[in-house]
Amino acid sequence: MVTAAITPAPSGDLRNYVLVTGAYWANTLADGASRILVLFFFYSLGYTPFELAAVFALYEVFGIFTNLIGGWLAARFGLKFTLFCGLGLQIVALCMLGLVPEAWLVVAYVMVSQALSGIAKDLAKMSSKSAVKVVVGGGDEGALYRWVSILTGSKNALKGVGFFLGGLLLTVVGFQAALLILAAIVLTALIGCAMLMDGGLGRADTTAKFRHMFSHDRAINVLAAARIFLFAARDVWFVIGLPVFLSTVLGWSFWEVGGFLAVWVIGYGAVQAGAPKFVGRAAAGGGGEPDGRTAAVIAFVLALFPAAIAIALSAEINQTVVIIVGLTAFGVIFAVNSAVHSYLILSYSHGDKVAMNVGFYYMANAAGRLLGTLLSGLLYQWQGLTACLWASAAFVVAAGLLSLMLPSQRGPKEALVAA
């Protein structure tokens, strides 16, 4: 996400906002759907959970590098350039799997495709969220807050719809036809933006230096470390363990698994969008904005849920009920914790360092997803979903302990933006 490195437009441009949001929706829908398609298609071919995790590894690895340099690229070349690059790369990644003979679909080839998809997703995310500041203009924090909330909440909803769409398309039209349908959706968004977008979404800053991406602020570095463990805690069960468990142990169909994941992510997004309404009131004894201690307390509460789910599964309580109820509760608390983190990164960042600090923060986010993804496959193959859940609990505790090291005082009030 880039804000400060881009010069805001003099006034809001609703058409550009609609186009940027539509492009982000299309890319998010395709990204969510393709993840489910790849997961279930290759699992049906006999891939082990750890091999599936390896398929997604480059997706997360390149997400780290994309977030690290994304702010610098947008500052140097403009947000329109990085947005179009993201959409174009997503089309290439989808066509790499949809247009080749099935004999080509081996692990190494699919990993390359997923690497491109990871770059595409993070370029589009960074460009779209940052473009909101440009099209809204400076000076109206209330409008900025509302518009970003709409974009963020809708993104999570569309990602959830993508999970359902991927499972449905795999059932109805098959793997490769589904990928080409998704590529057509993204291509439509790219053409629409190219034809209708007015201006370049801010001016490029050719003096931006790559070395400025790395933070020297202790609070930001600690928050980034906590972010790594928080998102590892989610993906260690969400990426491989849970979908495979639902399909093989509970016997759910592809579209049923995709539908459950869709509802979970949509609900997660709704909680994120609503978090500013009650987190601030609950923080600091009933008033003010959240601080590091708020993040720590929420994390320690969150750690109870994966541990309780693991204990319940081991006690042979009804597995379907345990999964649905337990992970729904986990999703609510996790969304609030994530939203608090996203407020804190803005609170800790000042002046022209906002863009680089937020890029560094999203790099940590991607690193957590990579760690969680790899362990999700390895732990599920070793000891099943229970092992994934215990690892999740441990990671959340680590995030909470790190959050205790964050400042208790709060910086200038900023919009609480869910990531």
The pLDDT value recorded for residue 148 is 56
- pTM (two decimals): 0.75
What does the domain layout of the chain look like in residue ranges? 14-200+213-403
Q: What angle do helix axes 14-44 and 49-77 make, rounded to 10 degrees? A: 160
The pLDDT value recorded for residue 10 is 41
- Among 83, 184, 77, residue whose Cα is nearest residue 124: 83
CATH code for the domain defined by 14-200+213-403: 1.20.1250.20
The band of 216, judged by pLDDT with boundaries at 50, 70 and 90, is low
Sign of the CA dihedral 59, 62, 68, 72? negative
Per-residue pLDDT reduced to its tens digit, 222-278: 998 999 999 999 999 988 999 999 989 999 988 888 888 888 888 887 787 666 666
3-state secondary structure of 100: coil
| CA–CA gap between residue 258 and residue 372 (Å, rounded) | 20
For the beta carbon of residue 281, count every other beta carbon within 10 angstroms.
12
The pLDDT value recorded for residue 121 is 86
In terms of Cβ atoms closer than 10 Å to its own Cβ (0-12, 13-18, 19+), residue 160 is buried
Q: Which of 233-247, 274-288, 387-401 has the lowest mean pLDDT?
A: 274-288
- Among 264, 375, 382, 391, residue whose Cα is nearest residue 323: 264
- Mean of the per-residue pLDDT values of the chain: 79
Per-residue pLDDT reduced to its tens digit, 95-107: 999 999 888 888 8
The pLDDT value recorded for residue 160 is 83
The pLDDT value recorded for residue 413 is 42
Residues making up the chain, counted from first to last: 419
The band of 33, judged by pLDDT with boundaries at 50, 70 and 90, is very high
310-330 mean pLDDT:
92
145-161 mean pLDDT:
67
Whether the per-residue pLDDT at 25 is higher than 50: the answer is yes
Per-residue pLDDT reduced to its tens digit, 170-187: 989 999 999 999 999 999
